[in-house]
Structures are given as C-alpha cells and as structure tokens.
C-alpha cells in the first residue's frame, strides 16, 4: 500500500510539471536537446502496481456514416465524435485554397467549415473566405480588421447555419455575415478578444471571450439574450475551448478551471464544478486551463484540462463520476464506449467511458522520437484513428487496439484536425492552405 501511495504522488507531480512545458510546442520557447537514456511510458508502469486500473471491456465503435456538411467546430455543439465514412486513402495531398499563413504574432485557431459544397475558412489576417468547391473559385472574402489594427491576430472562429456565417474575432467583435454575398448583417462588440469558435444552437450564438465572459446573442438580430462572467485566470495557454450545449444545458469551461452548467434559456446556474484541486489553484504560476472542448454524452460530461486530469461529471447534478490522471490540451475523441486522449503529447490512451480505466496505450514518442510538434485531436475515419501533427505527419492507428498502421508526410504543420464531408477529407495547415486528402 505504501508503494502505491508513493507512486501515485510521484505520478501526479510528474503530470503537473509536464503541463508547464507546453510553451515549446507553441513556439514560445527554444527547442531543448532531449536527455540521453531510454524513455518509458509513465502510464504503462501503472500496470506493475495496480492491475485493476485496466479495463477489460472490448472497444465498441459506431458504424461509419457519410455526412453532407461541417457547420461548426467538431461538427456538433456537444463535441461528440462520429465515425466518418470516407473514400480517401489518406496518401495524396492537393491544395484547393489558401490565404495568409501564420507568423510569430498571427495564429490560426479556427477549423474550416463546409456547407453546401462551399468551403469557409479564416486566415491569419482575420480574412474570411468563401470558396466554391465545384467551380474552384472564391465566391467572396471579407477582411474583419480595420486599417488601424496592426497584427496580433490570434484565434477567433467561425460557425455557419442555413443563411449566415457567424464569426468571433480576435479584435473583440462578433459578426453575422450573409452566406450569399459576404455582407455584414450585424456586428457586436465584446470587452476582450475572442479565441474560441462560436457555438450555434437553435436561434442562439454563444461566444466565450478571453476574460471568461460568456455572451449569448439572438442570431437573427444580434440582441444580447444573457451573459455570464467567470473569474479570469492569471496564466493561460494559447487556445480556448468552445462552449458545449446539449438540450437546455450549456456548459462553460473557463480558463481558471471553473466549470458552470447553465440553463440555455435564461442563463440560470444549474451546477458548478472545478477541474483543479484547491491546493493547486493556489499556486499562481501553474496552468489550470481547460483548452480542450468539453464533450457531452448521454449521461456524462467529459472534461480534459492542462492541470493533469480527465474528469467525468454527472450531467444532471455535476457530481464527479471518475477521474484519470492524464495531461492534454486537445479535445478527447469520444465514440461508442471509448475516449481517446493525447497524453502529454507523447501517447494515445484509450479509456473506458464507463469508469475511466485504461484499455491500451500507443506511444507516439517511441515511434517518432524526433517529432516535437503538437499532435492534434484524433479523428475516427472508416473505424481507424487518424492523427495529424508532430513534424508534419499523418498517422493511422487501429481504434481497437492502438496498433500503428501507416504514416504519411504533410506539406506543412496542421492547425486543426481533419474534417470529413461527402466522404472527402480536408485539412488546414499553418500556411493557411486547405488541402484535399485523397
């Protein structure tokens, strides 16, 4: 028992310290020379000490399906992952459209969208493009910054419904733009920049700002319906999560680790939780961010944070159901009875949704030691796990047992996971180019 307790304490400490190293992947720190010696998976060592943390249940996936549109980030306000049907062999990359790429002061965080054979994307200069996938021509483009603004375009996001494109701007503005001509229908201001993608649900546009303020607008006229203010965090990482919605429940993941469940109609608080311990939150230089999107299942809400935990809460009352000590900035892929997590940018871990126990681990670092870039959220395509990231790589794993299957080289570093529409796979890179993967 004493060995178990000591091991658990050491494990938590390792996870916490590793969470503060995210800066090197975002380009804020110089690349460090790795230490000599064999690298060992921390999670795999757990099996030596405690057998019952492993799940013995079999992986169950949903059937692959074809979808016609990709209308908002992760293609759902719940962020639940589908098993996408595709004809792609994932081996050929063809550029179809591009804008202005990233530099030190300008970062792209928005996932591209596809609606009615039209591609919508935002480049590093906060220019929105509408591109016809049939004619291969630009329908329109709209620059969202004024002449007085100078650089520092970090983040922002887009979402689309039947008639309008909604934009959260890094210059603290919310836009409603017509799909047909790119005309601005209405514009509203927020107090601070917006890095997260807007969430669309019913007649509402939900925006999360950099200072932990949630604003809900009527999508037809831009009128503010309600707003909620959280406590701003003193430390944060580059990204920002997207608000999740299921039915009349809105989940707000704030950067200080607070989690609020509110009533969609009026913003009334239903329950409140936190992703960090009190002891850790008192350490001012620690990262407590929730940078991954929360995922809403039938009865659970799954939250992944940079504090070193993946947590499952009861959707109705907010009570914690289970926790697993994993550190990630990426949204978990959840499908069937499995949760796939990129742990410490080094491993892909399969968890059982029922209890959070580990089924299997794939060591990315062991296979690709030289690849220092961020690995993004996996995508389930034809019942296979597809990951992009590292040193401009695309890899394919078995979703059943984590076995490595294929690797392909990308033209540049990816900025978001692939999207799959009409059985075709699309990917946006840091040079702002959108590629078709065949």
pLDDT tens readout for residues 74-86: 899 999 999 999 9
The encoded tokens of residue 353 equal 């949704």
What's the pLDDT band for 147 if we cut at 50, 70, 90? low
pLDDT in the model for residue 357: 96
Contact in structure between 16 and 308 (CB atoms under 8 Å): yes
Residue 311 has pLDDT above 70, yes or no: yes
What's the chain's average pLDDT?
84
Residue 198 has pLDDT above 60, yes or no: yes
Q: Mean pLDDT over residues 201-224, rounded?
A: 94
Higher-confidence residue of 147 and 137: namely 137
Residue 41 has pLDDT above 50, yes or no: no
Q: Mean pLDDT over residues 275-279, rounded?
A: 56
CATH (domain of 331): 2.130.10.10
SS3 280: helix
Q: Mean pLDDT over residues 44-49, rounded?
A: 43
138, 141, 175, 145: which is closest to 160 by C-alpha? 175
What's the pLDDT band for 233 if we cut at 50, 70, 90? low
pLDDT in the model for residue 335: 97
Name the range with the highest mean pLDDT among 37-51, 93-107, 169-183: 169-183
Query: Taking the model in full, what pTM does it have?
Result: 0.85
175, 278, 155, 245: which is closest to 217 by C-alpha? 175
Total number of domains in the chain:
1
Instruction: Residue 129: give the domain boundaries.
Output: 2-437
In angstroms, the CA 109 to CA 97 distance is 17
Q: Mean pLDDT over residues 181-196, rounded?
A: 90
SS3 392: coil
Residue 10 has pLDDT above 70, yes or no: no
pLDDT in the model for residue 155: 73
Residue 245 has pLDDT above 50, yes or no: yes
Q: What is the DSSP letter of 53?
A: G
Residue 14 has pLDDT above 60, yes or no: no
Contact in structure between 333 and 339 (CB atoms under 8 Å): yes
Pairing of β 157-160 and β 333-335: unpaired
pLDDT tens readout for residues 338-392: 999 999 999 999 999 999 999 999 999 777 766 778 999 999 999 999 999 999 9
Q: Mean pLDDT over residues 292-299, rounded?
A: 93
Q: What is the DSSP letter of 43?
A: H
């Amino acid at each position: 028992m004493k060995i178990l307790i000591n091991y658990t304490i050491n494990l938590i400490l390792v996870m916490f310290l590793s969470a503060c190293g995210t800066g090197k992947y975002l380009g804020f720190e110089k690349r460090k020379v790795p230490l000599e010696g064999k690298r060992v998976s921390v999670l795999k060592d757990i099996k030596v000490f405690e057998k019952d943390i492993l799940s013995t249940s079999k992986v169950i996936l949903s059937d692959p399906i074809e979808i016609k549109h990709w209308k908002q980030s992760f293609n759902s306000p719940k962020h639940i992952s589908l098993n996408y049907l595709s004809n792609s062999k994932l081996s050929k990359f063809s550029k179809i459209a591009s804008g202005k790429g990233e530099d030190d002061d300008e970062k792209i965080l928005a996932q591209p969208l596809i609606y009615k054979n039209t591609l919508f994307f935002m480049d590093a200069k906060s220019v929105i493009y509408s591109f016809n996938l049939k004619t291969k021509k630009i329908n329109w483009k709209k620059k969202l910054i004024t002449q007085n603004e100078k650089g520092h375009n970090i983040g922002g996001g887009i979402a689309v419904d039947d008639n309008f494109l909604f934009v959260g701007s890094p210059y603290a503005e919310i836009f409603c733009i017509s799909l047909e001509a790119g005309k601005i229908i209405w514009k509203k201001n927020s107090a601070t920049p917006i890095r997260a993608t807007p969430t669309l649900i019913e007649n509402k546009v939900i925006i999360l700002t950099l200072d932990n303020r949630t604003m809900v607008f009527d999508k037809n006229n831009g009128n503010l319906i309600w707003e909620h203010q959280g406590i701003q965090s003193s430390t944060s990482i580059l990204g920002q999560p997207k608000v999740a919605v299921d039915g009349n429940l809105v989940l707000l993941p704030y950067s200080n680790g607070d989690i609020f469940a509110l009533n969609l109609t009026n913003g009334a608080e239903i329950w409140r939780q936190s992703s960090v311990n009190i002891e850790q939150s008192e350490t001012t230089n620690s990262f407590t961010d929730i940078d991954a999107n929360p995922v809403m299942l039938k009865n659970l809400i799954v939250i992944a944070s940079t504090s070193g935990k993946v947590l499952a809460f009861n959707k109705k009352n907010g009570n914690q159901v289970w926790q697993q000590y994993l550190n990630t900035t990426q949204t978990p892929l959840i499908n069937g009875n499995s949760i796939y997590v990129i742990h410490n940018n080094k491993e892909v871990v399969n968890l059982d949704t029922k209890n959070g126990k580990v089924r299997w681990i794939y060591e990315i670092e062991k296979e690709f030691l030289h690849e220092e870039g961020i690995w993004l959220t996996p995508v389930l395509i034809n019942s296979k796990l597809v990951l992009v990231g590292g040193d401009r790589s695309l890899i394919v794993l078995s979703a059943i047992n984590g076995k490595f299957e294929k690797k392909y080289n990308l033209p540049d570093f990816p900025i978001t996971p692939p999207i799959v529409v009409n059985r075709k796979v699309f990917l946006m890179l840091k040079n702002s180019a959108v590629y078709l993967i065949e």
